[in-house]
Structure 1
Amino acid sequence: MSTVVETVSAIVNPILADNGFYLSDIEFVKEGGSWYLRVYVDKTGGISLNECVLVSEALSEKLDAMDPDPIPQAYFLEVSSPGAERPLKNEQDYQNAVGDYIHISLFSKVNGKKVYEGTLKSLDAETLTLTLKDKARKFDQEFQRSAIAKARLAIEF
């Protein structure tokens, strides 16, 4: 189903660019016998429900006007924010998360741990630096980006 994702990405990106939004992710999945096209959009400062509706309506209109239909089976279109603990999947997500509290899972242990949470201080093409806290102090820890299995925004308690 990657062709559906690629097709929808090409259609939705100009809509997003015209409105100052960006694409976070697209899923085309079958759940409980029904197909779902989920488009996750965002903007700096967060996206509103009304902005999601605007994208949904514009995307739906463009998809409906295409002949032949790029998605032959029946499906539900969902346009939403990626959420408060959204995954960091692409470079734009990481850049937007600088200064935010994030959670990373590593492929292999670093200093005896595979999971870290801290404030994303900086990043470049090869590394990212988190500001971590322990009981006594704050300190910076650098991680190789290639060592990161998953990353997402996190809520600091």
Structure 2
Amino acid sequence: MYRAIRERDLREQAYQEEQARIAHERELETARLRAQQEKMADKQAELDELRAMRAQEAYEREWREKERAEAEKRRKEEEAKRILKDGASAINKTSLWEEALEEEAKAAAEELRRIQAKNDEELARMFEKRQAKKEAKKAEKKEKEKEKE
């Protein structure tokens, strides 16, 4: 009788140890998967940051090019005005020239506003996406802490 009880106790102990081993393996696998998810989230955040930086650099390049083009345009306008002043029909030619230049300036300003708005929207979208990922990561960390408790 003692032998049967002892065998039963040994089987129960073996069963408990097997259950503990399985639970431990599950915890290890869960930890591995979480670490992998965090690594992927970090990599995605880095990629998002790089994209945002590249978008900002592209915006700045476009802005510098527009500034350079406008400066060149102003220089040409000044030279054209000087040349027209020397001509006999300077008043008529100047007014026509100025109208054309004003139209070009308005078109260039509108194009610059359009590009800037597009870049601002892209940067805002990237920022919102990055913020959402950070908050998701924080929530996941809080959940881990709750599970540990």
Structure ranking higher on relative contact order (CA contacts 8 Å, 6+ apart): 2
Structure with greater helix percent: 2
Q: Compute the TM-score of the two structures, normalised by the length of structure 2.
A: 0.22
Structure with greater strand percent: 1
Bigger CA radius of gyration = 2
Q: Compute the TM-score of the two structures, normalised by the length of structure 1.
A: 0.21
